Structure 1
Amino acid sequence: MTAGNPLSGAVLLRAFEQSHEAILISDRNNRVIAVNPAFTALTGYTLDEISGQDPKFLASGRVSSDFYTDMWQTLSEQDFWEGEIWDKRKDGSIYPKWLAISIIRDDRGAVRNYVASFTDITASKEAADRLAHLAYHDPLTELPNRLAFELHLSQALRVAQREDRQLALMLIDLDNFKNINDTLGHHFGDALLQRVAARLRECVRSSDLVARLGGDEFVVVLPEISSPRTATRVAEKINRQLAEPTQIEEHLLYATPSIGISLYPGDGDDAGTLLRNADAAMYHAKNSGRNNHQFYAAQMNEAASERLQFESALRQAISNLSPAASDFVLHFQPQIHAASGRVIGLEALLRWTHPTLGPVSPNRFIGIAEETGLIQPIGDWVIWEACRHLSAMKARGINNVRMAINVSAHQLRSDSLISLIHGAMACYDLTPSELELEVTETTAMQNPEATRGILDRLAAMGIKLAIDDFGTGYSSLAYLKHLPIHRLKLDRSFVKDLEEDANDAAICAATIALGHNLGLELVAEGVETDLQREFLSRLGCDVLQGFFYSRALPFEEALAYIQAS
């Protein structure tokens, strides 16, 4: 002990014995002289069994000699090393641990002791592996997702170009799938998608890729074909397989495919062109009676023409934006405080009814709006309208209900977002704490530094911030914890199956615990059953939202719901 050191030997011994980290102390020759109870609990070895031994008896055999060489080199130069390593317990089981080693030297600088402390990181590695899997796989079907598809296709195109090969891209859309969802519900639709995914995998080689892009849209990449006939044979097999009825519970369901095929290099030499042309071919297959496959041809640009007409209709609707007369309107879905059952917030959701097309699903027009940049004026209108409705709600005597508004990536990149929100709040006499802005996980990761800057400014204003669709993107938790967010919104894809899928239940539990450890509120979307409500409430989820409570409602109905609750 050094003079003036307030720590007695008894205190240090108590800390050594009660530490939750395993601690091993060896002498200058690296022979074990002391271990604590946590070491024995983790490895199974007592001091009597290993005293005087070199700690290398813990080696798992899974670590290279170069690794140990680098570790000892760092120790000799810096007197400290830490990192991940695989070791072996007394019972022979191998596990990953986080290890820190320090060298204790005497007054002359000679090594006196080595002190190693470590913890079992099996659970955290499993969680990290699960999150990594989620980043590249669709949680419903376990197929590769869009991100994985794009990476695979880019690599396959590079190989095809280098080796002068042909490649086929097949875009598959299920015919009339929406009718199944609308009439029987998402439970049956999801079960059908899982069966379709399994059948698609059976139709291709192990070297081919099957991915789910979203909804009922799948893609197959055949990275090496001898001729277009190879793609024809695979498409015919897929048509036959998917045309077979699928029995789900008491229902016999049919999901025939419309398949569009584009070929490298004839139909395009980059991923974007091939996908667009396969999409055009797929629409041609639908227009040709469905349940068939079509190759891309120049005349299929008719589909692109239809899209342009749809975009034109969207632009026309935007030109007529006004509170009094607009094809757009906001509906509001209540957010319920889980503990008290009180409505504490409303999420503003955009709806579009076209004069001739009728009601248009947000899934159909939001994507086009984002691709064309039209989401910017639409998003700005939503902010103004949401603030106007919030002001009207307060004038009707309803207070302490926060308005949640979705913000797009385009808006986050706009310099006008801050001034727009300032203006809307001033116009309708609102305080920042009455607003919540929701940003999707994927949007938050598109331009991390710029996103953090704008979110910091919004948080400094006092506006609440939420990460929407958490769990579906590919974000870094290390990055998310540095964002000034207040809420995580657990995506509905995990909530809807938690009663039947142990993995989804575990993900929900882990995400809620993670969010609370980071000081965040957790909001669960897509709550549709009392069992889901009870499960999420028991885990401590703060806020619940979904059809179990209410669908998104027109303004007057939303007010009536709040007043009745």
Structure 2
Amino acid sequence: MLPPEKPPPTDADDGFPLSSAILWRAYEQSHEAVLISDKENRIIAANAAFTRLTGYTAAEVIGQNPRILASGNAGPEFYNGMWESLSQYDAWEGEIWDRRKDGSIYPKWLCISVVRNASGLISNYVANFTDISASKQAADRLAQLAYHDVLTHLPNRLAFESQLAHALRVCEREGRQLALMLIDLDNFKNINDTLGHHTGDELLQQVARRLRESVRASDLVARLGGDEFVVVLPEIEGPQTAARVANKIQVAVAENYWVGEHLLYTTPSIGISLYPGDGTDPGILLRNADSAMYHAKNAGRNNHQFYASRMNEAAGERLQLENELRQAISSISPENCEFSLHLQPQIDTTTGRVVGLEALLRWTSPTYGMVSPMRFVAIAEETGLIQPLGDWVIWEACRITHQLRTHGIDDVRLAINISAQQLRHENLLLLIQGALACYDLKPQDIELEVTESTAMQNPEITLSILDQLSAMGIMLAIDDFGTGYSSLAYLKHLPINRLKLDRSFVTDIETDPNDAAICTATIALGHSLGLELVAEGVETEAQRAFLTHLGCDVLQGYLYSKPMPFDETLAYLKECRSASE
């Protein structure tokens, strides 16, 4: 390094002149790379930190122009701006990418100062710089976390909102149409609750990949949270384009998934809103797609629905009903309960005696009055409210059974419907044991009914739980049999005692040969497996006679009685007992 052109500076406090040796050590031992060039911008000195950072020794660069370090990433405009700043302000600093001796490029923060002599003419340029690779990586990681979903690496809600707003501005400027699809996975909550969050997370990652592969590179796929995804198609010819993509997504997502040792299935319910017809604001488009998605759920799931204005009304009503349901469940107490169990008798076809009662949940809302179970049970299952509500049903059913026993009715079993979430909840066995003990009941006093579709979800887990319930001595039944896709090979391994023939086959048994054939085959199948057959929905004498002829063991339906509250049920049972004596 050349000696200073001016006398060494003096420290004002100590009156202590800084020697050239001290300046040299500061220069050489600096952790920042320092490069000095002359007025012609030829390198005349470089410190040890420069060598460590670039790989070049001082001897290799002295006499060279600093451009030997350039990576080629910056264009003429960049360097023109740099020299303009040096000319005006004698200084420039900023980020620049350079190349090391080994050819690798890296980002650095560069500060250049102009040194002038006593005449004000440029004598040197002094540059000092540091490698900022680590800080840039950290910044890039923070940006990734801020705008991308950690699990799936798709854009998150924040990025989605920004990109959607930009896409809408482009559509407005260029007169294009846009489709927004809100996608919710069917049955995901059951998988997550049953197999754990790790399995659920892996499933979400696979779904994300399939969604990305189902659309164009220019389309936006994002995860809003949970099992909700969104797809934005910024350039479509019309609704038919969106429908075509939705069909493609349905097929892709519905294919089976291997997660560890588990073979899983899920399907998408898709709601679609269109710009500009269904809204020009991001929030409105998303809300309308959400309404359409719930319509897809109500239409049977695994389908797509386009938004229509009437859906907002239905969605608003559903939200209000959900809020009312939450309030009703949270406020359950002996003094205040909007729920009740109505009981429907089950009649033995041979003796005509009442051998069982099915407990059917009813809700009387202060706002809506009597709400159909078809409405509120579906909402409870979607929102997870079915768990606390189902727990109440078990306790209430046991209480009612105890009451029947106190009135001398000790030969009638009470059947309780169990949801998929309840069946796989870790506390189910303890809950049932506690309720039975509390009301001094035997396991044989109750029967648990599981729908065919529930039994077929995760068969290994279902079999394990049913085995434990059966070992307790509890009667088990498959409800709605014939509406699902049971494997007979699997069915014979379940520890069940009863098959309940779905009412849809009983309704037209007298006029529809197919229904008659299904009933005949099912009763024969059940008996061959040693099971008792129960037919639901029996409403006419002709249906009773037909089913009795086929050998059906137990009948249930309006022909005998509608579901009744406890007092009416008790009177009915006493009347039946008196008539048989």
Partner of 1:33: 44
Q: Counterpart amino acid of 2:297?
A: K
Task: Specify the SS of the correspondent of 2:129.
Answer: strand
Partner of 1:307: 319
Task: Specify the SS of the correspondent of 1:49.
Answer: helix
2: CA distance between counterparts of 1:79 and 1:299?
A: 68
User: Where do 1:183-202 residues align within 5 Å?
Assistant: 183-202=194-213
Partner of 2:542: none
Structure-2-length-normalised TM-score: 0.53
2: CA distance between counterparts of 1:164 and 1:79?
A: 50
Partner of 2:247: 236
Partner of 1:206: 217
The reply on whether 1:268 has 2:279 as its aligned counterpart is yes
Partner of 1:72: 83
Residues 16 and 187 of structure 1: CA distance in aligned 2, closer, same or farther (over 3 Å): same
Residues 116 and 297 of structure 1: CA distance in aligned 2, closer, same or farther (over 3 Å): same
Q: Counterpart amino acid of 1:307?
A: L
Task: Specify the SS of the correspondent of 1:29.
Answer: coil
The reply on whether 1:48 has 2:55 as its aligned counterpart is no
The reply on whether 1:247 has 2:273 as its aligned counterpart is no
The reply on whether 1:291 has 2:302 as its aligned counterpart is yes
1: CA distance between counterparts of 2:318 and 2:24?
A: 77
2:50 and 2:56 in contact (8 A); partners too = yes
1:150 aligns with one of 161, 169, 172: 161
C-alpha deviation, 1:40, in angstroms: 0.8
Task: Specify the SS of the correspondent of 1:45.
Answer: coil
2: CA distance between counterparts of 1:289 and 1:317?
A: 26
Structure-1-length-normalised TM-score: 0.54
Q: Once the two structures are superposed, what CA deviation does each residue of 1:435-492 show, in whole Å capped at 9, x if it has no partner?
A: xxxxxxxxxxxxxxxxxxxxxxxxxxxxxxxxxxxxxxxxxxxxxxxxxxxxxxxxxx
Residues 107 and 182 of structure 1: CA distance in aligned 2, closer, same or farther (over 3 Å): same
C-alpha deviation, 1:195, in angstroms: 0.3
Q: Counterpart amino acid of 2:127?
A: A
1: CA distance between counterparts of 2:33 and 2:176?
A: 56
Residues 165 and 218 of structure 1: CA distance in aligned 2, closer, same or farther (over 3 Å): same
Partner of 1:340: none
Task: Specify the SS of the correspondent of 1:171.
Answer: strand
Residues 264 and 66 of structure 1: CA distance in aligned 2, closer, same or farther (over 3 Å): closer
Partner of 2:232: 221
- How much identity, in percent, do the aligned residues show? 66
1: CA distance between counterparts of 2:170 and 2:117?
A: 60
2:289 aligns with one of 278, 286, 291: 278
The reply on whether 1:109 has 2:116 as its aligned counterpart is no
C-alpha deviation, 1:154, in angstroms: 1.8
Q: Once the two structures are superposed, what CA deviation does each residue of 1:233-278 show, in whole Å capped at 9, x if it has no partner?
A: 2111111111111001100111111111112222222222211111
User: Where do 1:404-443 residues align within 5 Å?
Assistant: none
C-alpha deviation, 1:174, in angstroms: 0.5
C-alpha deviation, 1:312, in angstroms: 6.1
Task: Specify the SS of the correspondent of 2:86.
Answer: helix
Task: Specify the SS of the correspondent of 2:92.
Answer: strand
- State the aligned residue count: 330
Task: Specify the SS of the correspondent of 1:144.
Answer: coil
C-alpha deviation, 1:311, in angstroms: 4.8
The reply on whether 1:178 has 2:224 as its aligned counterpart is no
Partner of 2:356: none
2:182 and 2:289 in contact (8 A); partners too = yes
1: CA distance between counterparts of 2:9 and 2:154?
A: 61
Partner of 1:128: 139
Task: Specify the SS of the correspondent of 1:133.
Answer: helix
Residues 26 and 167 of structure 1: CA distance in aligned 2, closer, same or farther (over 3 Å): closer
1: CA distance between counterparts of 2:282 and 2:40?
A: 60
Task: Specify the SS of the correspondent of 2:120.
Answer: coil
C-alpha deviation, 1:49, in angstroms: 1.6
Q: Counterpart amino acid of 2:47?
A: N
2: CA distance between counterparts of 1:117 and 1:364?
A: 60
1:118 aligns with one of 89, 108, 129: 129
1: CA distance between counterparts of 2:19 and 2:9?
A: 10
C-alpha deviation, 1:100, in angstroms: 0.9
Task: Specify the SS of the correspondent of 1:173.
Answer: strand
Task: Specify the SS of the correspondent of 2:250.
Answer: helix
2: CA distance between counterparts of 1:283 and 1:2?
A: 77
Q: Once the two structures are superposed, what CA deviation does each residue of 1:374-423 show, in whole Å capped at 9, x if it has no partner?
A: xxxxxxxxxxxxxxxxxxxxxxxxxxxxxxxxxxxxxxxxxxxxxxxxxx
Q: Once the two structures are superposed, what CA deviation does each residue of 1:58-110 show, in whole Å capped at 9, x if it has no partner?
A: 22222222222221222222222211112122222222111111222223322
2: CA distance between counterparts of 1:76 and 1:224?
A: 48
Q: Once the two structures are superposed, what CA deviation does each residue of 1:148-206 show, in whole Å capped at 9, x if it has no partner?
A: 21122222222333333332211100012111111111110110000001111121122
Greater Rg by CA: 2
Q: Counterpart amino acid of 2:119?
A: R
User: Where do 1:459-474 residues align within 5 Å?
Assistant: none
2: CA distance between counterparts of 1:156 and 1:257?
A: 25
Task: Specify the SS of the correspondent of 2:25.
Answer: helix
Residues 225 and 2 of structure 1: CA distance in aligned 2, closer, same or farther (over 3 Å): closer
Task: Specify the SS of the correspondent of 2:229.
Answer: strand
C-alpha deviation, 1:30, in angstroms: 2.3
C-alpha deviation, 1:282, in angstroms: 0.8
The unaligned stretches of length 5 or more in structure 1 are: 326-353, 366-565
Residues 101 and 158 of structure 1: CA distance in aligned 2, closer, same or farther (over 3 Å): closer
2: CA distance between counterparts of 1:137 and 1:118?
A: 32
2:203 and 2:259 in contact (8 A); partners too = yes
Residues 13 and 208 of structure 1: CA distance in aligned 2, closer, same or farther (over 3 Å): same
1:2 aligns with one of 5, 9, 14: 9
Residues 164 and 49 of structure 1: CA distance in aligned 2, closer, same or farther (over 3 Å): closer
2:182 and 2:270 in contact (8 A); partners too = yes
Residues 317 and 288 of structure 1: CA distance in aligned 2, closer, same or farther (over 3 Å): closer
Q: Once the two structures are superposed, what CA deviation does each residue of 1:275-313 show, in whole Å capped at 9, x if it has no partner?
A: 111111111111122111112223322122121344567
2: CA distance between counterparts of 1:167 and 1:112?
A: 61
Task: Specify the SS of the correspondent of 1:277.
Answer: helix
C-alpha deviation, 1:314, in angstroms: 7.6
Residues 166 and 140 of structure 1: CA distance in aligned 2, closer, same or farther (over 3 Å): same
2:9 and 2:18 in contact (8 A); partners too = no
Residues 316 and 176 of structure 1: CA distance in aligned 2, closer, same or farther (over 3 Å): closer
C-alpha deviation, 1:111, in angstroms: 2.4
2: CA distance between counterparts of 1:28 and 1:223?
A: 55
